[in-house]
């Protein structure tokens, strides 16, 4: 499969985006981050939530 042809459902990519969203939530609430870091994590969180919303919910079916 070439770079242009991606599968309709990429489980690893969905898991990666979910992990980034979770890490952003954790870093936003961390007392060890400065205001600049919190602002950056908020921007990243918005970017990846928009990406996830644009893809929609990915469902897996087992047709055995």
Burial of 56 (0-12, 13-18, 19+ CB in 10 A): exposed
pLDDT tens track for 4-14: 655 566 788 88
Start-to-end CA distance of the chain, whole Å, equals 26
Q: How far apart are CA 10 and CA 56, in angstroms?
A: 13
Give the global pTM: 0.73
35-38's contacts with Cβ under 8 Å and 24+ in sequence apart are none
Residue ranges per structural domain of the chain: 11-55
pLDDT digits (tens, 9 = 90+) for 9-37: 678 888 999 999 999 999 999 999 999 99
């Amino acid at each position: 499969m070439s770079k242009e042809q991606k599968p309709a459902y990429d489980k690893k990519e969905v898991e990666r985006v979910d992990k980034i969203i979770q890490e952003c939530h954790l870093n936003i609430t961390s007392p060890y981050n400065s205001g600049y870091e919190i602002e950056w994590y908020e921007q990243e969180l918005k970017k990846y939530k928009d990406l996830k919303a644009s893809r929609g919910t990915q469902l897996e079916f087992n047709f055995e």
